[in-house]
Amino acid sequence: MRPLRAKRPARRLRRDPAPSRLSYRLHRLWLTPLIRRMLRIGLPILLVGVSAGYYLSDETRREAIQAWLVEQRQAFEARPEFMVKLMAIDGASTELATDIREVVPLDFPLSSFDMDLEAIQKTVSALDAVASATVRIRSGGVLQVSVVERIPAVVWRGREDIELLDETGHRVASVIARAIRPDLPLITGDGAETAVPEALNILAAAKPINNRIRGLVRMGERRWDLVLDRNQRILLPEENPVAALERVLTLDKTQDMLSRDLVVVDMRNQMRPTLRLAKTAMQDLREIRTREERIDNQ
């Protein structure tokens, strides 16, 4: 039997296509630019903000996030490409290298994020024997320390100890005895270390009598005495010591002055160079003179 119920059309047409007044108003509201922007931008931002605020309002969650962040950071820093495995020192003698290794106590391997290169550079530069230092991390995980060493120019005998100084007067190292560096000239006296360049000039000028020089003595922290062997001294003036020394050397050259029995050549007064003979020299001279007169009289 055929079903009595009529077959319904699949989709019934809506009788009224008109929007209800509510939907009409909502549509107009939605098309209002301000409302639309608020709903499309403001509302999501608000929602995200509120939910984030709610989530972060709990202390334990905040800590967890913090811990997670720290852990992530550490994991990142500990990656093999950031690990420094050894320190290479260039331009330093072995003693200086050991010194540098001492003052920069790093136990490798170490992440490059944990290193303070500037501090390392400062520490290394602070060493007396180091003129300048550059520190960088080379590819392959090498901490490269390039050092320019100070070259000792003089030996300075101070009141307490003996030290090596470079040409600017900066301390390089201590030595136990002067004999350790016989090749370097010796300076001494109070304030000698502050006038090293002048001393070096004087020593350079005194090259012709180099083999006789014992050292330079700073007198009264203002002028130099050049001390030769046989306890001879050349007292140099405060100003123009090199010129005065050259005068002395000229005299020495022409009259063989320094090989005579002198104790002091006093050049402090430029106008009046003074010689002091040794105690016995005058007697010897007189004896020689009388002997010569006798010979002449005979």
Partner 1 sequence: MTDLYATQRAMRNMRKAAMQRGVIAILDVGTSKTACLVLRFDGPEKFTGEDGVGSLAGQSSFRVIGAATTRSRGVRFGEIDAMNETERAIRTAVQAAQKMANQRVDHVIVGFSGARIRSYGLAGSIDLQDSVVREQDVARVLAACDVPDYGDGRGVLHAQPVNFALDHRSGLSDPRGQIGNRLSVDMHLLTVEDSAIHNLLRCIKRCDLEVAGLASSAYTAGVSTLVEDEQELGAACIDLGGGTTGLSIFMKKHMIYADSVRLGGEHVTADISKGLQVPMAVAERIKTFHGGVFATGVDDRDMIEIGGDTGDWEHDRRTVSRAELIGIMRPRVEEILEEVRLRLDAAGFEHLPCQQIVLTGGGSQIPGLDGLASRILGNSVRLGRPLRVQGLPQAATGAAFSAAVGLSLFAAHPQDEWWDFEIPAERYPARSLKRAVKWFKDNW
Residue 60 C-beta: closest distance to partner 1, Å: 48
9 binds partner 1 (CB under 8 A): no
168 binds partner 1 (CB under 8 A): no
Q: DSSP per residue over 279-297, as a string?
A: HHHHHHHHHHHHHHHHHHH
CA dihedral 42, 47, 50, 55 (to 10 degrees): -150
Q: What are phi and psi of 54, to 5 degrees?
A: -65, -40
Using CB under 8 A, pick the residue from 2, 14, 21, 294 that binds partner 1: 21
41 binds partner 1 (CB under 8 A): no
Using CB under 8 A, pick the residue from 16, 118, 183, 296 that binds partner 1: 16
End-to-end Cα, the chain, rounded Å = 187
Distances (CA, A) of 123 to 35, 142, 169, 189: 64, 18, 20, 31
Stretch that binds partner 1, among 13-21, 65-73, 85-93, 186-194 (CB under 8 A): 13-21
Stretch that binds partner 1, among 15-23, 62-70, 164-172, 223-231 (CB under 8 A): 15-23
| H or E stretch covering 162 | strand 162-165
Residue 26 C-beta: closest distance to partner 1, Å: 10
CA-nearest of 177, 109, 96 to 141 is 109
Using CB under 8 A, pick the residue from 1, 31, 177, 295 that binds partner 1: 31
The 10 Å CB-count burial string (b at 16+, else e) for 263-274 is: ebbbbeeeeeee
Contact 214/229 with Cβ under 8 angstroms?
A: yes
19 binds partner 1 (CB under 8 A): yes
Using CB under 8 A, pick the residue from 25, 37, 73, 222 that binds partner 1: 25
32 binds partner 1 (CB under 8 A): yes
271 binds partner 1 (CB under 8 A): no
Using CB under 8 A, pick the residue from 18, 75, 271, 295 that binds partner 1: 18
Whose Cβ is closer to partner 1: residue 17's or residue 220's?
17
C-alpha gyration radius of the chain: 46
Whose Cβ is closer to partner 1: residue 7's or residue 294's?
7
Q: Which residues bind partner 1 (CB under 8 A)?
A: 16-19, 21, 24-25, 27-28, 31-33
